[in-house]
Amino acid sequence: MSQPGYHAVVDQPAGLRERKKQATREALHRAALRLVRERGLDQVTVEAIADAAGVSRRTFSNYFSSKEEALLHGEQMRMRLLVEIVHARPADETYWAALIGAVGEFTARVGVEHPGWREEIRPIRGEPAALARQVAVHAEMERELAAELVRRMPAGPDAELRARLMAGVFLTTLRITLRQWLHQPDGPFAPLLRQALEIVRERFD
């Protein structure tokens, strides 16, 4: 059963048809997580995921191109939410203020400290194919985030490059900090992430 707060981070579409599609996509994602956690990625097939979600192989293909994509669906939605939060920040904020401001809302909305977060992240670790897909997801979100940041940077010939660099540094900091926190959860995640970002800002500025 879906547990809102750590992976269901995108608002449900309004139309009945779209809600059904979202439910099917979520069911496939949850099935992939459960099967990979139980068997390992190499021992899980697309057919097994489809069967576990109660749909056909053809239906699976309508939503995901691979089992890795189904597994990383939650990750992709979280990264897209982060970009949307940055986009919604006040237009007069600097790029750095927008990022820092987005961190609090992002961590609250995705429920990082919910036990289910670890259950969703764990199947990805140690799976090279899943990690490769994760890199692809982050690269896509890096481009989208950079497009948001460049609008907040002073105009100049290097603005686009600085935006791409900052987007990459920010997402890498998020990933590394989350990994450290998952291994050593000595306190809340959000303050640890802000601390890491302050270290980055001192170097980046």
Helices 189-204 and 159-183, axial angle in degrees (round to 10): 140
Annotation: CATH topology of 73-204: Tetracycline Repressor; domain 2 (1.10.357)
Mean pLDDT for all residues in the chain:
83
For 128-137, the pLDDT digits (tens) are 777 787 788 8
CA distance 48 to 155: 52
CA distance 200 to 177: 12
Backbone angles phi, psi at 77, to 5 degrees: -65, -35
CATH superfamily, region 16-65: Homeodomain-like (1.10.10.60)
For 23-36, the pLDDT digits (tens) are 999 999 999 989 98
pTM for the complete prediction? Answer: 0.76
CA distance 5 to 138: 21
pLDDT reported for residue 125:
67
Please, where in the chain does CATH 1.10.10.60 lie? 16-65
Please, where in the chain does CATH 1.10.357.10 lie? 73-204
DSSP-assigned states of every residue in 71-95: HTHHHHHHHHHHHHHHHHS-TTS-H
pLDDT reported for residue 8:
45
